């Protein structure tokens, strides 16, 4: 499928078209976790679109999958989206070759973007080699690329964790159109990224609390990927309304939605068992549970993954209630997945 831009047009295309919020989609599996659950994946695609997202980030790195399963996951999502929103792929595989392979597959099946970072099997020997490696991956895809340094901290060269001197060079690569700042980054780091490359590419902080600075002061026009469906519903799109209010300059409206979300003082307890900024371990298992509580497919992920204990699930449910929503029942549906449960699947009892 032909892309709607050439590499030389990618930056301008993104400025004109990539506006709004992006949410991740994680894989769903059959109850025994042996195969992908296509119906569950398709349900989540439509639920994310109904939540007002302008882009879906296909995120296969949060659970154990083969490369062929990752590619099938991509194919299912792109087929169900059918051009209704943008689709991106979280390109953080095991090797550089797998990164390139899945980006090429994503393009063939209808995707337009990729969030590109360095793979697990990589350790740069110099700042220049780090740049060359990233450019090599960019040169091997036609997709519009979102630069993501969040999973490769190299504090031996820069206390921020990333050698800032090469950031403008990365932004100059023709098909690099944006940069995602890792959630939870310091305000100083965020401001420096906007200062260095905000005129070249679309810089985005995914944290709603940061938008009160980044949108009015730096013109942030997109945000993600973040689990925005964990604190809103298709009928009450609070994060979308917050983002749009700030883009309109309506601070009072934005503050109203901010304080609605602030009532969720317990939900963060489920995420405290993994220090994502330092480990790079994605808490997709917690995101999937919160998503199920508000209408998503749910379902467990394969190991290696975290386990949500009963008190952590209860903390998420309490936080959702505090925001004025009622979480789904019964919890057995979450364990097997909403679509599988509707077909009669239940947890095995011994």
Please tell me the CATH code under which domain 7-342 is placed: 3.20.20.70
pLDDT (tens digit per residue) in 24-54: 999 999 999 999 999 999 999 999 999 999 9
Q: Model pTM?
A: 0.95
165-169, 181-185, 280-284, 343-347, range with the lowest pLDDT: 280-284
At CA 292, angle to CA 29 and CA 49, rounded to 5?
90
Q: How far is CA 190 from CA 207, 226, 334, in A?
A: 11, 16, 36
Task: Return d(Cα 190, Cα 90) in angstroms, integer.
Answer: 21
CB 179 within 8 A of CB 147: yes
**Helix or strand or coil: residue 55?**
strand
Nearest to 293 by CA among 246, 331, 247, 340: 331
Q: Assess whether pLDDT exceeds 90 at residue 184.
A: no
Task: Return d(Cα 345, Cα 82) in angstroms, integer.
Answer: 29
Residue ranges per structural domain of the chain? 7-342
Instruction: Tell whether the torsion through CA atoms of 96, 98, 101 and 107 is positive or negative.
Output: negative
- Per the omega criterion (within 30 degrees of 0), is the bond before 14 cis? no
Q: Assess whether pLDDT exceeds 80 at residue 265.
A: no
Within 8 A by CB and 6+ apart from 303, the residues are 63, 64
pLDDT of residue 183: 83
Percent of the chain with pLDDT strictly greater than 90: 85
Q: How many CA atoms lie within 13 A of 55 on its CB side?
A: 28
pLDDT (tens digit per residue) in 314-342: 999 999 999 999 999 999 999 999 999 99
pLDDT (tens digit per residue) in 206-255: 999 999 999 999 999 999 899 999 999 999 999 999 999 999 999 999 99
**Location of structure tokens 């020997």:** 125
Model confidence at 305, pLDDT cuts 50, 70, 90, reads confident
**Helix or strand or coil: residue 275?**
coil
């Amino acid at each position: 499928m032909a892309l709607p831009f050439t590499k030389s047009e990618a930056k301008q295309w993104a400025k004109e078209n990539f506006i709004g919020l992006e949410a991740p989609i994680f894989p769903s599996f059959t109850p025994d976790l042996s195969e992908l659950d296509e119906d569950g994946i398709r349900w989540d695609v439509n639920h994310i679109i109904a939540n007002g997202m302008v882009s879906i980030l296909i995120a296969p790195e949060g659970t154990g999958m083969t490369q062929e399963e990752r590619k099938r996951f991509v194919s299912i999502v792109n087929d169900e989206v059918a051009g209704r929103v943008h689709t991106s792929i979280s390109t953080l595989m095991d090797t550089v070759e797998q990164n390139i392979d899945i980006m090429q597959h994503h393009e063939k099946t209808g995707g337009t973007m990729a969030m590109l970072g360095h793979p697990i099997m990589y350790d740069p020997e110099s700042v220049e080699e780090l740049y060359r490696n990233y450019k090599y991956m960019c040169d091997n895809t036609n997709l519009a690329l979102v630069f993501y340094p969040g999973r490769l901290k190299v504090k031996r060269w820069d206390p921020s964790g990333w050698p800032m001197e090469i950031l403008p060079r990365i932004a100059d690569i023709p098909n690099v159109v944006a940069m995602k700042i890792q959630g939870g980054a310091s305000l100083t780091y965020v401001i420096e990224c906007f200062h260095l490359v905000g005129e070249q590419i679309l810089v985005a902080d995914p944290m709603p609390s940061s938008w009160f600075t980044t949108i009015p002061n730096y013109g942030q026009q997109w945000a993600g990927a973040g689990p925005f469906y964990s604190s809103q519903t298709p009928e009450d799109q609070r994060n979308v309304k917050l983002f749009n209010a700030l883009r309109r300059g309506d601070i009072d409206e934005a503050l109203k939605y901010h304080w609605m979300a602030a009532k969720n003082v317990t939900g963060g307890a489920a995420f405290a068992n993994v220090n994502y900024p330092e480990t790079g371990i994605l808490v997709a298992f917690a995101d999937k549970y919160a998503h199920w509580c508000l209408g998503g497919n749910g379902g467990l992920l394969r190991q290696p993954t975290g386990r949500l204990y009963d008190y952590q699930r209860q903390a998420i449910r309490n936080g959702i209630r505090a925001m004025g929503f009622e979480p789904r029942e019964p919890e057995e549906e979450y364990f097997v997945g909403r679509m599988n449960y509707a077909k009669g699947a239940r947890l095995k009892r011994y």
